[in-house]
A and B are shown apart, each in its own frame.
Chain A
């Protein structure tokens, strides 16, 4: 959120000058897409010389709020439908296109943490961390817990509602929490060594959608970015980071 505000200020100030320096393409994207999109950036910029893609990563609920408040953004990439619908309701987006899916996994700190499966989430005294209920990852996690039949007991063990899914990763990898539910793609190489990852047999489909803002000053470029996400280059990059096709 803080980075979003700084971006807002910076963009606003540069807008005051009457022009955007070096053709910036401003993309607000869900935190879980960070590595994948940053990986995509060089190829896109190579294919569109003179363009600098500037990312604003945060929980989708924060980004949707910023868009509703009028933040100058060209592309919005959300991690669930409710947040995208919220952005559409603001009137600044016409329609969104799906481009990827994700899976949920259960993570625990490496070492003996006493969690072998979802059933253990009900154990008394366990410290569970999830993303907050309005964060897409948090909403998905709660649906998953319902489907697993442990929602009530597990939520009784909830000790914190993080503002984005990476907060969950942070708390679990540091050993402060005993378990968390995150996207499979959040187990990046940087943290993989500190986590044990357990699959979840649930029918929850985190869906990613991208949309161009109606008032974007460079609609063609924005559309090209969305097309890139859905095209072979983008899909390959996303797959490399663990995302599933739409």
Chain B
């Protein structure tokens, strides 16, 4: 799009410079990281059993969490977007809360709710469910902080779907489920891809709530971000390498996700 008013060359130059500066801002730390690690070191770390445990745990926790976010988050987004119930504004605020809370505070809140001495803790323990210090607890922590990203993205997208499309499908005889599956969901596919990517990436990088609620234990709750933090305290060079590993894995999966779903088939 060309800017027609005034001097287009000048506007483009300003945008270019500012945008370029932003790009450099993002690229520089990454480049600095890459510069500190040799491929041999990277490969060696990838092979270390502790690192592999952390990687698999991160993938396991973040993907299970993503599944939970979809199963519970999509219906929630749908209700928030389509159903005008009393207190909807409050509900929206609640859903957005984990996004603005410092993650550690989120972890503390989860302890207050699901910890052994928490609101539901006693009940849960009676039926044999203990969440803090377990992988399930890590999944809960990650879901808590990541789901709002999916819900708000989806809610926004659902609100912009042309209602006539769904009405047309209905008049053609499509049941509510068919309308959802064949008209509504395809209409929000790009937003869905963005929401899923954002949600999953946030979950993969989650640290504060996880370490507070689930604790830090290799193989059980020590996801990659926690492993990097651990390494940072004893061996900063290893931490850099681990950070790069996490980065590389995330980037690959993110690009695959957005490319696969976001593209119109």
- Contact across chains for B221 and A160 when beta carbons are under 8 A apart: yes
CA distance A59 to B232 in the complex (A): 12
If A65-B233, A163-B229 touch, whether A176 touches B133 (CB-CB below 8 Å) is yes
CA distance A65 to B228 in the complex (A): 14
21 pairs from A and B in contact (CB 8 Å cutoff): A1-B232, A61-B234, A65-B232, A65-B236, A69-B236, A127-B133, A132-B233, A134-B233, A134-B234, A135-B233, A159-B215, A159-B217, A160-B216, A160-B221, A161-B216, A171-B215, A175-B116, A176-B111, A176-B115, A176-B116, A176-B117
A162 within 8 Å of B by Cβ?
Answer: yes
- Contact across chains for A174 and B233 when beta carbons are under 8 A apart: no
CA distance A59 to B230 in the complex (A): 12
For residue B236, which residues in chain A have a CB less than 8 angstroms away from its CB?
65, 68-69
| Given pairs A160-B216, A175-B116, 13 additional interface contacts (CB within 8 A) | A61-B233, A61-B234, A65-B232, A134-B234, A135-B233, A159-B215, A160-B215, A161-B215, A161-B230, A162-B216, A174-B117, A176-B115, A176-B117
- What 0/1 pattern do residues 151 to 166 of A give for CB contact below 8 A with B? 0000000111111000
If A160-B133, A162-B216, A163-B216 touch, whether A62 touches B116 (CB-CB below 8 Å) is no
Smallest CB gap from A59: residue in B: B233
B148 within 8 Å of A by Cβ?
Answer: no
CA distance A127 to B131 in the complex (A): 13
Q: Which residues of B contact A (CB under 8 A)?
A: 111, 115-117, 132-133, 211, 215-217, 220-221, 229-230, 232-234, 236
Q: Give the secondary structure class of B's interface.
A: loop
- Contact across chains for A161 and B133 when beta carbons are under 8 A apart: no
A87 within 8 Å of B by Cβ?
Answer: no
For residue B221, which residues in chain A have a CB less than 8 angstroms away from its CB?
160
Smallest CB gap from B222: residue in A: A161
CB of A177 to closest CB in B, whole Å: 8
Q: Please name the 9 residue pairs, one residue from A and one from B, whose CB atoms are nearest each other, closest first.
A: A160-B215, A159-B133, A175-B117, A134-B234, A61-B233, A161-B216, A176-B132, A160-B216, A134-B233
Looking at B215, B220, B232, which has the most chain A CB atoms within 10 Å of its CB?
A: B215
CA distance A1 to B231 in the complex (A): 13
Tally of contact residues, A, Cβ under 8 A: 23
Within 159-211 of A, Cβ neighbours of B (below 8 Å) are at 159-163, 171, 174-177
CA distance A177 to B132 in the complex (A): 9
- What 0/1 pattern do residues 114 to 134 of A give for CB contact below 8 A with B? 000000000000010100101
For residue B233, which residues in chain A have a CB less than 8 angstroms away from its CB?
59, 61-62, 65, 132, 134-135, 163
For residue B229, which residues in chain A have a CB less than 8 angstroms away from its CB?
1, 163
CA distance A129 to B236 in the complex (A): 24
Within 59-89 of A, Cβ neighbours of B (below 8 Å) are at 59, 61-62, 65, 68-69
CB of B265 to closest CB in A, whole Å: 44
CA distance A171 to B217 in the complex (A): 14
- Contact across chains for A158 and B217 when beta carbons are under 8 A apart: yes
- Contact across chains for A160 and B217 when beta carbons are under 8 A apart: yes
- Contact across chains for B215 and A129 when beta carbons are under 8 A apart: yes
- What 0/1 pattern do residues 27 to 62 of A give for CB contact below 8 A with B? 000000000000000000000000000000001011
Within 1-38 of A, Cβ neighbours of B (below 8 Å) are at 1
CA distance A127 to B115 in the complex (A): 13
CA distance A134 to B117 in the complex (A): 30
CA distance A162 to B222 in the complex (A): 11
CB of B193 to closest CB in A, whole Å: 33
CA distance A65 to B235 in the complex (A): 8
CA distance A65 to B133 in the complex (A): 27
Looking at B111, B216, B217, which has the most chain A CB atoms within 10 Å of its CB?
A: B216
CA distance A222 to B104 in the complex (A): 34
For residue A129, which residues in chain B have a CB less than 8 angstroms away from its CB?
215
Smallest CB gap from B221: residue in A: A160
CA distance A147 to B49 in the complex (A): 29
Smallest CB gap from B233: residue in A: A61
Smallest CB gap from A111: residue in B: B117
